[in-house]
A = this chain, B = another copy of it.
Amino acid sequence: MPNNAVKWIAADWGTTHLRVWLMDGADQVIGHRSSSRGMGGLSPDAFEPALLECIGEDLPDKETPVVVCGMAGARQGWTEAPYAAVPCKVPGVERATRAPTQDTRLKVYILPGLSQAKPADVMRGEETQIGGFLAGEPKFDGVLCLPGTHCKWAHISAEEVVSFRTYMTGELFSLLSKQSVLRFSIGDGWDEAAFEEALTDTLSRPAGIGADLFSLRAAQLLHDQSPDVARARLSGLLIGLELAAAKPYWIGQEVVILGDDTLAQAYELGLKSQSAWCRRVPAEGATLQGLKAAHAQLKASS
């Protein structure tokens, strides 16, 4: 039955998942739903039914704003939400694209991602995490690092995203450890000393990674290198390459790593081993905070 305490709906619609929060008039979460109907498996006309399947029973009787971030706004998504070009503030609903709906209770705003013309780069979804972090620390001046499949580094200054870069480190780790010849040599464990050594090697000599990768296989065949050491070394080589490339971002800047998982911890370890000035803050909640900040504009304008 309709839940008239719901005043608006926050949604993070990624490639593989949909996460939805039911919000009351005081921006408190009064319900949480999730679904595996990610953007990757949906044609444009399947988004509204997927959303209704997830939250239809909770919808109040009257028109309700739904603020959406993520891949739902991609060209192959629900409705393309054009990118906002950096430098710019994290865009809120004033720059959102309305998605057409049959159900008149839904008033859907799809937030834009960010783009950078040169070097060419894009993000969709992470800008909302950045917005969530900045809601808590609006005067932050420094660099945000968002580890993940595609790690993002964003330079923040004067309340704007000045520039950003994307590194495919997480995806490379997954492909190499699961689908390349290295899969025979890589385990599930960890070895911190091996991680740091490999990271330092690559930072000081980035090109070496070309041959160092195959050595992970050879070292097992010749020297019985343990699969845990190999996994930590692979991570160290790849994060080392990323830190070498991202050096202009972290040298002499305050770096905040947004994340609490082992991957975020590996980035922290790597940066600290290079004496970078960094701290780690939980990512949990950043997306919701960002959606709240985006929605606040709607309240302000109504």
Q: Give residues in A with beta carbon < 8 Å to B.
A: 75, 83, 115-117, 119-122, 150, 165-169, 171-172, 175-176, 179-181, 206-215, 217-219, 221-223, 225, 241-242, 244-247
Q: Smallest CB-CB separation from A208: which chain B residue?
A: B245
Q: Smallest CB-CB separation from A244: which chain B residue?
A: B207
Are the C-beta atoms of A210 and B246 separated by less than 8 Å? yes
How long is the Cα–Cα vector from A115 to B242 in the complex, in angstroms? Answer: 30
Are the C-beta atoms of B210 and A241 separated by less than 8 Å? yes
A92 nearest CB across to chain B (Å): 22
Q: A120-B215, A120-B218, A211-B246 are in contact. List 17 more A-B contacts (CB 8 A).
A: A75-B221, A115-B221, A119-B212, A119-B215, A121-B211, A121-B215, A150-B214, A165-B211, A167-B214, A168-B181, A168-B213, A175-B179, A175-B180, A207-B244, A207-B245, A209-B245, A210-B246
Q: Smallest CB-CB separation from A76: which chain B residue?
A: B184
Q: Smallest CB-CB separation from A184: which chain B residue?
A: B76
Are the C-beta atoms of A120 and B219 separated by less than 8 Å? yes
Q: Smallest CB-CB separation from A214: which chain B residue?
A: B166
The residue that A171 contacts in the complex, of B166, B181, B212, with Cβ under 8 A, is B181
Are the C-beta atoms of B150 and A241 separated by less than 8 Å? no
Q: With A222-B115, A245-B210, A245-B211 known to touch, is A180 a contact of B169 (CB < 8 Å)?
A: no
The residue that A214 contacts in the complex, of B83, B115, B121, B206, with Cβ under 8 A, is B121
How long is the Cα–Cα vector from A207 to B205 in the complex, in angstroms? Answer: 9
Q: For A245, what are the chain B residues with a Cβ–Cβ distance below 8 Å? A: 207-211
Are the C-beta atoms of B171 and A210 separated by less than 8 Å? no
A298 nearest CB across to chain B (Å): 28
Are the C-beta atoms of B166 and A211 separated by less than 8 Å? yes
Q: For A171, what are the chain B residues with a Cβ–Cβ distance below 8 Å? A: 180-181
The residue that A168 contacts in the complex, of B117, B169, B207, B214, with Cβ under 8 A, is B214
Q: With A75-B221, A179-B179 known to touch, is A211 a contact of B167 (CB < 8 Å)?
A: yes
How long is the Cα–Cα vector from A218 to B121 in the complex, in angstroms? Answer: 5
What are 5 A-to-B residue pairs whose CB atoms are below 8 Å? A122-B218, A165-B211, A166-B218, A175-B180, A179-B179
Are the C-beta atoms of B120 and A223 separated by less than 8 Å? yes
How long is the Cα–Cα vector from A99 to B254 in the complex, in angstroms? Answer: 62
Q: For A222, what are the chain B residues with a Cβ–Cβ distance below 8 Å? A: 83, 115, 117, 120, 122
How long is the Cα–Cα vector from A62 to B110 in the complex, in angstroms? Answer: 78
Q: Smallest CB-CB separation from A225: which chain B residue?
A: B120
How long is the Cα–Cα vector from A179 to B176 in the complex, in angstroms? Answer: 11
Q: For A213, what are the chain B residues with a Cβ–Cβ distance below 8 Å? A: 167-168
Q: With A75-B221, A122-B221, A166-B218 known to touch, is A210 a contact of B244 (CB < 8 Å)?
A: yes
